Amino acid sequence: MSALRELTQPSRLTEVVDIGANPLVDTPPYLPMLRDGLCRVTGFEPQPDALARLERAAGPHERYLPAAIGDGERHTLHVCAESGFTSLFEPDAAQLALLTDFPRLAEVIDRVDVDTTRLDDITEIELLDHLKIDVQGAELMIFRNGRERLRTATSIQLEVNFHRLYVDQPTFADVDVELRAQGFVPHAFVATKTWPLAPVQWADRDAPTDEAHARQLVEADMLYVRDLARLDDAETVDDEALKHLALVMHHVYDQHGVALLALRELIRRGALDPSAEAAYRSHPV
């Protein structure tokens, strides 16, 4: 058993929701918790082939559903040559042309009408502690139509765009305003992605300017958490939510400072023995 789980004694597994669970190159960030039996994952993936792969590999604490999460309206899904570019938004040819290979990868090969479901209307989710979302531009739409469901969440990992890849795609600034209004604040960059500018590439290591100096910031995976200055608001973040915040921050992101703040608030509330802080500080990894 996780030492931190034994210390905090949560009453249930951490509830993780993964919207856009399509397994591409990277493993999901919450995999360490899943392997150790510390969380339950509910994933959503509307692409049939990707859903089938997820279902074949699913363990006892995983379930995957075919719903396309959005605003509850019917939209056109733009299926791209590279599945990771498939989006409810139309690829922006002018912006894509600035990036090497992106026009080819984001070429629309099919258009499919899909009915979307609001996150607030998903009956299969009773609780949500941690949200991981990667939906190629539809994040803001989902957040605006998931405010009730997100009330129980304490952390979110999402992909935010700085370079607009799709027509009318919301960018980081738009998403940040919405999440702050819901009580979340950015805590850390999980990963950033830059890409070589087109059409000129420098493959020659001896060239005066090489590829490392000709890249555009495209997007980043960002970690948002409940406002750490307001963890004392028990109506927004109850004792159980604090325990799961600590577990996710510790096991998934190595953010021991956030985990410690959650523990200290639990101690202040009388939900944990004061010795818990020293116990965690002595074995933080």
Length of the chain: 285
pLDDT of residue 49: 83
Strands 14-19, 130-133: parallel, antiparallel or unpaired by DSSP?
parallel
pLDDT of residue 48: 85
Cα–Cα distance between 80 and 82 in angstroms, integer? 5
pLDDT of residue 208: 56
Do residues 88 and 76 lie in contact, with contact meaning Cβ atoms separated by under 8 Å?
Answer: yes
Cα–Cα distance between 152 and 136 in angstroms, integer? 24
pLDDT of residue 209: 59
Cα–Cα distance between 214 and 39 in angstroms, integer? 41
Cα–Cα distance between 188 and 222 in angstroms, integer? 6
Under DSSP, the state recorded for 28 is P
10: which 2 tokens?
A: 């949560």
Instruction: Read off the pLDDT of each residue in 260-277 and give the average, rounded to a whole number.
Output: 97
Write out the DSSP string of 179-199.
Answer: HHHTTEEEEEEEEEEEEEBSS
Cα–Cα distance between 194 and 199 in angstroms, integer? 15
Residue 45 has pLDDT above 60, yes or no: yes
Question: What would the pLDDT profile of 5-24 be if each residue is shown by its tens digit?
Answer: 999 999 999 999 999 888 66
Tokens 């399509």 belong to residue? 22
Do residues 23 and 50 lie in contact, with contact meaning Cβ atoms separated by under 8 Å?
Answer: yes
Is 10-229 in CATH node 3.40.50.150? yes
Instruction: Read off the pLDDT of each residue in 135-144 and give the average, rounded to a whole number.
Output: 95
Cα–Cα distance between 177 and 231 in angstroms, integer? 20
pLDDT of residue 285: 61
Instruction: Read off the pLDDT of each residue in 30-50 and give the average, rounded to a whole number.
Output: 92
Q: What percent of the chain has pLDDT over 90?
A: 83
pLDDT of residue 120: 97
Amino acid letter at 25? V
What angle in degrees, to the nearest 10, is found between the helix axes of 239-251 and 256-269?
Answer: 160
